Structure formats: C-alpha cells, structure tokens
Amino acid sequence: MSKLRLGDPINGTVGKPMGGRRFQIESRDAPKEWKVELHAHKPDLIEPGMHTTFWVSRIVPVKTSIVVRDGDYGRLPISEAMSKRYVAAIRAFLDDKFDGDKLADLRAMGTHVDTQDSADWLTVWRLLAEPETGPLKELVNMLTELRDARKTDPERAAEIRDAVVALWGDRLRQAHNRLTT
C-alpha cells in the first residue's frame, strides 16, 4: 500500500454504525491495524455491508485512524465568487492594503480547511500548497491576532502582518497565481 494522502480515494465496506453520521469502514487500502471511520455527508444513504469508494479527509497517526467521507462535499472546486474574493484578499494582504473584510476572507481560507466545514476545503488546502495542521492553525491564530491588533495597536499589527508574509508570502503568491491563471 502506498502512503495515503488527503483527498485520496479509498475502497471500503461499511461496517456497523457508530452513532450520528459515523460508521466503521473495513478497507484493505488502509494500513494494517488502522481504524477507518466514515463521517457521512448523507448518512441516510449509507447501509452496513455497502461497498464503495470514499475519500480520505483526515489522517491521525497518533490514533492510527483515518477519517473518510462520502460524496463530493469538501472537495468541490472553488466557486467563481469565492475565487474572486480569495484573489482580492490575497492581493490586498500582500500589498498591505487590506481591510477587515479582506482579512476575514483570508482567515476563512485557513479556518475552512482546519474545520473542514466548507464545500471546497480540500481544494483550498491544495491551493495553499497542502500545509500541515500545525502551521495552518498558526496562520489562523496570527490572522486572528492581526484582526484584533488592527483596532488597538497599529505597530503590533504591522509586525504580525510582516511575520505572516515572511512565513506564508510564497504560498499566498502561488495561490494568487493559480487563481488568476
């Protein structure tokens, strides 16, 4: 078995329900001894014994577990409207001409990936060059701190923005380029 990555397809058979939208999955595609758990988008369509292809949404090595999803929610393309907002937010941030709305859109890119709560979170994760969870959470925290500092401490806000550009500028430029070409 090759190493699984977020978004990879994984074949499996639905086992017993675990409550709510969760089901055990038996899969030969997963590493031996690892648990595979389905977080179903449409649990009413899932039945024990059903064999189908899911996609990997979370890998937790510490717990030797993999979370998979059904359907396309989470891995849909970025809509045209959101693409325009992301482009505007990235450009304004890199040019140091952003406002609260642009900062919120930039921060949303990270939070949606972290919480996996938007239709395009996997696509946005790939757009951001597939960051690890730790650095992604750090980006969201820095942007939250920047949002708060803008209101009370402009010098601190400038320092935070510069730190974000130092850590994330290349990824943001690449994301901007991908969205505009």
Domain boundaries, the chain: 9-69, 80-180
**95-101 CB contacts, 8 Å cutoff, 24+ apart:** 96/161, 100/147, 100/150
pLDDT in tens, 26-69: 999 999 999 999 999 999 999 999 999 999 999 999 999 999 99
pLDDT above 60: residue 12: yes
d(C-alpha 50, C-alpha 41), whole Å:
15
Q: Tell me which residue of 95, 92, 129, 125 sits closest to 110, measured CA to CA.
A: 125
Q: Model pTM?
A: 0.91
pLDDT tens readout for residues 58-94 = 999 999 999 999 999 999 999 999 999 999 999 999 9
Fold for domain 9-69?
OB fold (Dihydrolipoamide Acetyltransferase, E2P) (2.40.50)
Secondary element (H or E) of residue 131: none
Q: What is the CA radius of gyration of the chain?
A: 19
